[in-house]
Amino acid sequence: MNNACHTPKDDDIRPAAVTETLDPMRMPSGNVAMRWLPRGQSALWLIGAFVIAMMVAAPIIAVAYLAFFPTENIWPHLASTMLPRYVKNTAVLMLGVGIGVTLIGVSAAWVVTMCKLPGKRFFEWAMLLPMAVPAYIVAYVYTDLLEYAGPVQGILRDIYGWQSAADYWFPDIRTKGGAIMVLSLTLYPYVYMLARAAFLAQSICVIEAARVLGRSAWSSFVTVALPLARPAIVVGVVIALMETLNDFGTIDFFAVHTLTAGVFNVWLGMGNAGGAAQIALTMLAVVIALLVIERYSRRRQRFHDTTNRYQELPGYDLGPVAKAGALAICILPIVLGFVIPSTVLIYYSVGYFDQSWTADFFEFAGNSLLVSGLATALAVGCALFMAYALRLFPQPVLKFFVRLSSVGYAVPGAVLAIGVLIPFARFDNALDAIMRDTFGISTGLLLSGTVFALVFAYAVRFMAVSYGSIEAALGKVRPSMDDAARTLGESPWGTLKRIHFPMVRGGILAASVLVFVDGMKELPATLILRPFNFDTLATHVYQYAKDEMIEQAALGALTIVLVGVVPVIMLSRAISKSRPGHGGKS
């Protein structure tokens, strides 16, 4: 056995197109084609990158400005009354979800990767299925199943002869504990896929060394695999916590007063934009803290390759009891997070098909397709421009612009919506005043209160997702291709069109799918920015579920779930191919 054991670099354990959104600065080797560009063209690329970066930064700047200079400062009132409760509930929710996704995601990743199980190939991709179901839809389904008038309690009353709620105790799903359970079931795949990619990236000689020393599967996991995978696990947990902070549908339905709920309450309930911006700025502080933790963890954990011994990982043989436990670890999250919600939605969709398959449904679906499609085109186009600009002109100022353009995904949708609405509304009001004074006509709402505001917010929020996929694909194109094109007299745009674009179509397609699906599911930003009498499938499902009419919303919810399955399959394939030496001989 080779004694020179491999310990993977932290960069190796993050699959392409999944986590590049958190670290977009991986660059292709060499100063690709910088000599190619005349000074004027270099300036155009820099100006374009600056405009895109400012497009992303503008909402954040707007929120910060309004928070520090509100029209009516209610911060003392918020700090002494509502804010402590919002902060406490948010902290409890994030702590519970952090523990939940870590336990489920890491244990499932280890079992699927390192243990011999029946149906192992199925579990590899099926563990990602709960990611396809938005948390608010899972919340609606379980509330319908577990409430007093639901089928579960009804069956129990029939079996045991109970007459009323006073005769027995049953846990209430609409609590902080219920919200933690629902969010953990839908967000653990972030930890699972990154932890599994980390375990796949570990060298066989590390596992062999642990076995030679007599380590059991559990001991090898705790003392060897877990420390090596810790940076990837932290990244997954941070992503899950940011999604928890962004969630509104679940916590609103369960009446859990978090910072996100506070933004809606102060903005819509009290009509105070400054107070909402101040709460939003508090949320941004939490996001920044999470990003600092994530980056610090990866910087502290550096490993290096000393061998190329990558081959099929040997699986641990488990006894009957251990095997049953391992199967339970894999089966329960899939059943609770995907099978049960999907089955209920299918049942209601069939039973209430005539009430759901209406002109309104097609209108809502069309609105979702329109907004998500336009946002996808804008986000992917900007991401492709930024990635190619950085390839041509890899200078610190451009790297800064790229990093700035990637922060949108970390910003909660409610915060981003306020940041978009403020400058858009002021622009509309200023233009309307000028047109009234000059020409005596009103321009109305040109930006705020229009579909454009929604498209802009979606593009800003999901640009980092598209950039990660495109940058990863573009980084695989050898610099010699650029050199050859330059030698033949091709311009940068011509090279992008004729050489790079055909070679990175897969990355562009992956980016487009991810952005489109995220747009279909987005709820907080849509609720704030949508035009009057404009509903998407997400807002349609939210409104009907809030009115206790989940049956009529089931078809729309099922449509969102089916659309969400597509990126799950793509991610599963990407993770399976992420192991060094995949497809080759060891």
In DSSP notation, 108-122 reads HHHHHHHB--TTHHH
Q: How far apart are CA 455 and CA 325, in angstroms?
A: 46
Predicted local distance difference test score (pLDDT) of residue 314? 61
Average pLDDT, the chain: 83
Q: How far apart are CA 414 and CA 264, in angstroms?
A: 8
pLDDT digit string, tens, across residues 445-496:
888 888 999 999 999 999 888 888 788 778 777 777 777 877 777 777 777 7
Residue 369: is its pLDDT beyond 90? Answer: yes
Q: Is the Cα torsion angle 540, 545, 547, 550 positive or negative in sign?
A: positive
Architecture label for domain 352-574? Orthogonal Bundle (1.10)
Longest dimension (CA), the chain: 86
Tokens of 331: 């089966």
Helix (H, G, I), strand (E, B) or coil at 531: coil
Residues 6+ apart with CB under 8 A from 153: 146, 147, 170
* Percent with pLDDT over 90 in the chain: 43
Which range (75-79, 215-219, 376-380) has the least confidence?
215-219
Residue 576: is its pLDDT beyond 80? Answer: no
Residue 311: is its pLDDT beyond 70? Answer: no
Tell me the C-alpha to C-alpha distance, in Å, between residue 154 and each of 162, 336, 343, 469.
9, 20, 19, 48
Residues 6+ apart with CB under 8 A from 369: none
Q: What is the mean pLDDT of residues 98-112?
A: 94
Q: How far apart are CA 469 and CA 383, in angstroms?
A: 9
HEC states along 416-461? Answer: HHHHHHHHHHHHHHHHHHHHHHHHCCCCCCCCCCCHHHHHHHHHHH
pLDDT digit string, tens, across residues 164-174:
888 899 999 99
- The count of other CB atoms within 10 Å of the CB of residue 146 is 17
Residues 6+ apart with CB under 8 A from 499: 477, 481, 482, 485, 490
Predicted local distance difference test score (pLDDT) of residue 137? 94
Residue whose C-alpha is closest to residue 393's, from 11, 51, 20, 40: 40
Q: What is the pTM of this model?
A: 0.83
At the fourth CATH level, the homologous superfamily of domain 72-303+311-336 is MetI-like (1.10.3720.10)
Residue 153: is its pLDDT beyond 90? Answer: yes
Domains 72-303+311-336 and 352-574 equal at CATH topology level = yes
pLDDT digit string, tens, across residues 206-231:
666 666 666 666 677 777 777 878 88
pLDDT digit string, tens, across residues 394-449:
878 888 888 888 788 888 899 999 999 989 999 999 998 999 988 889 888 888 88
Contact 207, 220 (CB under 8 A): yes
Q: How far apart are CA 157 and CA 152, in angstroms?
A: 9
22 DSSP 8-state letter: G
Q: Where in the chain are the domains?
A: 72-303+311-336, 352-574
